[in-house]
Amino acid sequence: MRHKWFAWLLILVMVTVFSLSGCGWKDDVQEEILPRLTEKATAEEIRDTEGNIFGEEEEPSGTIPVMGDGNADYDGFTYLYADELMIEAEKNEETADLTNEGLVIYVPLSDNTDQGGNFITSNAMGAEFRVSLNGIELPYDHNNNTAKQNLEYILNSLKLTVSYNSSYEALEQTAVKEAGESAYSAAASYLEYDESSNEYYVRYNTYFIKKLSPSATVVIQISVHAEAATEQTEALIQELEAFYGFPIEWDPIAASQKLDCYKSETVGNTITIAGLVVEIPNDWEKVDVETYKHYAGWGNSSVLIIRSSPETIDTYPEEEINAVAEAKLSEIMEGVTDIEVTRITDSNSEFALKCTGKVTYEELEIDVTFFLFQKGFHTYMVFAADYRVTTGAELAEHIFETARIADTSMF
């Protein structure tokens, strides 16, 4: 199937023919969490879809609970309710019975929740919350790892996702920090592309992991969506911090600055696509997260597509490499003929190929240029289609020669 923007290129042709940063993390304020919570004024009422009031004013019963104390009776939170997670943790060798292991948790009140035996998710006031016991986000052999190793696995998974998925940009991660006995936390911020609005939005994620026993690990992930956060989001975060005992990253001012920083970089032609920092001229129009288009009048049109994949190509046998290149090209554009594959040896990539060819549609012949190259453990693809010009091919070659891997190093 041809790429959907191939149709756009042809439409432009036919119409003309026939018509003649400054982002940072807030300081750790763990010691300020409880004073802020106990001194805060009564929060505004939050109602569910049936009109019921969440957290009506009552005198709290007892001291503020913390994770691990088993207290499910506290009613002093405005935005949280008590629940419990359960797992079959250990097998009694004498009776062969399975011993259930449970954990009392507090979850944001919301009418948008999902729950299984070992996990609960909730989406409230712009904050996506997930807590799990031995959840699917952990590696298969997580019981053999330390809590820190398991958290590093989760962060590496995020970094891998962002590096080859064009919907994500400007990833920043903190270092993993100790957050109690057998407990660690870390945070990340990035931009996520929303196709419906054609806009990027800022995400602030906080990750916490704690090994409760040799066979039970709790994982908490909180993602604050900048565009959906409300005036109550900070109060919700304070209650979550009080119970779970680790700081949650959210700074609306820094989030706004991060987005402004990204937009200012794109104005200067230097942007990040598919994990590559590239230069796109001002007269190219963005279509989606991986596609740009250019129209020079009189039917002269070009399309540029940039993608990446978490794989290497330098390990293929020499006799197979041409077939690999043609297969990658066909993923973007089928029906390309007269394909010529050239090995590029004088580049700053570990391995690189250039393909040229043609594709015909309703007697219109369109030139195709395709660069396939490897940097590190990722393969990158830069595709250009031109009708009666070489604008796309020239830009594709410039990107191949000058692109660098985006910096996602921890700080």
Mean pLDDT, rounded, for 189-205: 87
Distant-in-sequence, close-in-space partners of 305: CB < 8 Å, separation ≥ 6: 3, 5, 290, 291, 332, 381, 382, 383, 384
Mean pLDDT, rounded, for 162-178: 82
Name the residue with higher pLDDT: 326 or 215. 326
Mean pLDDT, rounded, for 3-16: 48
> Pick from 353, 309, 358: which is nearest to 337 by CA?
358
Exposed (0-12), middle (13-18) or buried (19+): which is 166, by Cβ within 10 Å?
buried
> Pick from 400, 380, 383, 376: which is nearest to 309 by CA?
380
> How many Cβ atoms sit within 10 Å of the Cβ of residue 192?
19
> How many Cβ atoms sit within 10 Å of the Cβ of residue 292?
23
Q: What is the CATH number of domain 4-20+269-405?
A: 2.60.120.1690
Place of tokens 């003649």: 20
Strand stretches in 154-274, DSSP E: 168-173, 177-178, 183-194, 199-213, 216-225, 270-273
- Lowest mean pLDDT: which of 25-34, 191-200, 248-257? 25-34
> How many Cβ atoms sit within 10 Å of the Cβ of residue 157?
12
pLDDT at position 105:
93
Mean pLDDT, rounded, for 318-346: 91
pLDDT at position 95:
60
pLDDT band at 98 (very low <50, low <70, confident <90, very high): low
> Pick from 119, 144, 140: which is nearest to 215 by CA?
144
Please work out, in degrees rounded to the nearest 5, the angle formed at the alpha carbon of residue 322 by the alpha carbons of 320 and 323: 65
Cα 387 to Cα 168: distance, rounded to the nearest angstrom: 31
pLDDT band at 54 (very low <50, low <70, confident <90, very high): very low
pLDDT band at 91 (very low <50, low <70, confident <90, very high): low
Highest-confidence range of 42-56, 278-292, 371-385, by mean pLDDT?
371-385
pLDDT band at 60 (very low <50, low <70, confident <90, very high): low
pLDDT at position 243:
95
In the chain, the largest separation of any two C-alpha atoms, in whole Å, equals: 88
First to last CA, the chain: 43
Mean pLDDT, rounded, for 288-296: 86
User: Which element (helix H / strand E) includes 354?
Assistant: strand 351-361
- Asked if residue 266 has pLDDT above 70, the reply is no
Mean pLDDT, rounded, for 257-275: 74
- Asked if residue 97 has pLDDT above 70, the reply is no
DSSP 298: T
Name the residue with higher pLDDT: 10 or 357. 357
Compute and round to an integer the Cα radius of gyration of the chain.
26
Q: What is the pTM of this model?
A: 0.59
- Asked if residue 234 has pLDDT above 90, the reply is yes
pLDDT at position 66:
93
The pair of structure tokens assigned to 56 is 């009506």
The pair of structure tokens assigned to 116 is 């299984």
How far does Cα 114 stand from its chain's mean position? 21
pLDDT band at 88 (very low <50, low <70, confident <90, very high): low
- Asked if residue 3 has pLDDT above 70, the reply is no
- Asked if residue 259 has pLDDT above 60, the reply is yes
Mean pLDDT, rounded, for 200-213: 93
> Pick from 285, 281, 258, 261: which is nearest to 269 by CA?
281
Cα 13 to Cα 7: distance, rounded to the nearest angstrom: 10
Mean pLDDT, rounded, for 59-68: 79
Name the residue with higher pLDDT: 77 or 93. 77
Name the residue with higher pLDDT: 410 or 380. 380
pLDDT at position 399:
92
The mean predicted confidence, pLDDT, of the chain is 80
Residue 204 phi, psi dihedral angles, 5° rounding: -115, 115
Cα 292 to Cα 171: distance, rounded to the nearest angstrom: 22
Mean pLDDT, rounded, for 224-253: 94
Which pLDDT tens digit goes with each residue over 64-82?
999 988 889 999 999 999 9
Cα 351 to Cα 313: distance, rounded to the nearest angstrom: 7
pLDDT at position 35:
40
Are 380 and 276 within 8 A, CB to CB? yes
The pair of structure tokens assigned to 190 is 């990035």
Task: Classify the phi-psi angles of 275: left when phi > 0, otherwise alpha if psi is within -120 to 50, otherwise beta.
Answer: left
The CATH 2.60.120.1690 domain(s) of the chain lie at 4-20+269-405
Cα 171 to Cα 36: distance, rounded to the nearest angstrom: 30
Are 289 and 164 within 8 A, CB to CB? no
